[in-house]
Homo-oligomer: A and B are copies of this chain.
Amino acid sequence: MKRIAVFTSGGDAPGMNACIRAVVRGALYHGVEVYGIRRGYSGMIAGDIFQMNSHSVSNIIQRGGTILKSARSKDFLTSEGRRKAYDQLIGHGIEGLVAIGGNGTFTGALTFFEEFGLPTVGAPGTIDNDLYGTDYTIGFDTAVNTALDAIDRIRDTAGSHDRVFLIEVMGRDAGYIAVQAAIGGGAEMVMVPEVLTPISEVVDTLKEGWKRSKSSSIVIVAEGDDEGSAIQIGEKIKNLIDSEDLDLRVTTLGHIQRGGAPSAYDRILASRLGLGALEGLLAGQKNVMAGIINNELVYTAFEDTIRLPKPINDDLLRMVRILST
């Protein structure tokens, strides 16, 4: 392989730039030319493709977001769109792709390969950590640290006013961010999509805490929880605890969790996975995602990363309960 291209797709995640840098520097190290594609599949179709060198990725390892930008592309869902994308890539002499993104990205790459035979190796870039085939995804550790920094701030107020705070964190259909934020934030409780937690259980936990004269409490709510958003859950709790003394507040952390300088963990993980994806592609891998499992680099077929669920660690859920004793 003489020339490859790299792009980011799906929601941005801290560490994507570190991953791009590893792909580019790795390619140059191995004597391979490397191109960048802006705005994912959308830019592939539009031909927003340019050669990258070592300087292109200088001083970006510490930057959040993605210098290659990201966008949704309706056109890539059509065979016509994919044909245009292929023509653009061939026109630039691209022989293989490194895709940094999530399952949507990999599904597109798989279809693309089936039609045109152009191989892609993926790197898992999403804060949600919901991808089978890797212990952690790029951006997850930073998102948890950002959430914890916010929770630490809110705890100052919770403690000063003896309040109950419901804090909603991101994670789409997965509770990874929520569980880690709950343990690290010293929360009384966590509500995640993977486990059914009836409101009555939340109310019981709060009441038990008051009996042990806990003056303030924090409950972490994953955005995908079955009982609804933190705002909705707050309303339900207020309906069940009919007391003047309940001073309950709700806060939704929102988009701050997607940005910021990547943590040490994410910079190193992103560098390993970017290099791993690139070297896999050069070694002939195709339609697989590079991941780190038990500290070893592994490649998992896109079919499996897309299809297989990634269960949450029961030990961590147990810890939330024990540590709020």
Contacts and interface: CB of A to CB of B under 8 A. Distances in A.
Given A59-B155, A251-B254, A319 B265 contact: no
SS class, residues of chain A in contact with chain B? helix
Interface stretch (A23-31, A85-93, A196-204): A23-31
A146 B324 CA distance: 28
A180, A184, A263, A268, most chain B CB atoms within 10 A: A184
B260 A263 contact: no
A28 B212 CA distance: 13
A233 interface: no
Nearest to A258: B157
B22 A160 contact: no
Interface string A67-111: 001110000000000000000000000000000000000000000
Contacts of A21: 186, 323
Contacts of A254: 251-252
A220 interface: no
Contact of A249 (B22, B160, B165, B255): B255
Contacts of A62: 148, 152, 155, 186
A12 to B, nearest CB: 4
A154, A157, A252, most chain B CB atoms within 10 A: A157
B184 A153 contact: no
A48 interface: no
A325 B257 CA distance: 29
Contacts of A315: 272
Contacts of A159: 59, 65, 69
Contacts of A157: 12, 64-65, 255, 258-259
A186 B59 contact: yes
A294 interface: yes
A275 B320 CA distance: 11
A193 to B, nearest CB: 20
Nearest to A321: B29
A240 interface: no
A261 B161 contact: no
A186 B268 contact: no
A203 to B, nearest CB: 20
A272 B69 contact: no
Contacts of A267: 148, 183-184
A63 interface: yes
A255 B151 CA distance: 9
A268 B136 CA distance: 15
B325 A28 contact: yes
24 contacts: A12-B161, A21-B323, A22-B323, A25-B322, A26-B323, A29-B322, A59-B186, A61-B185, A62-B152, A62-B155, A65-B157, A144-B264, A153-B257, A156-B258, A157-B255, A157-B259, A183-B268, A184-B268, A184-B271, A263-B264, A268-B316, A272-B315, A275-B319, A294-B294
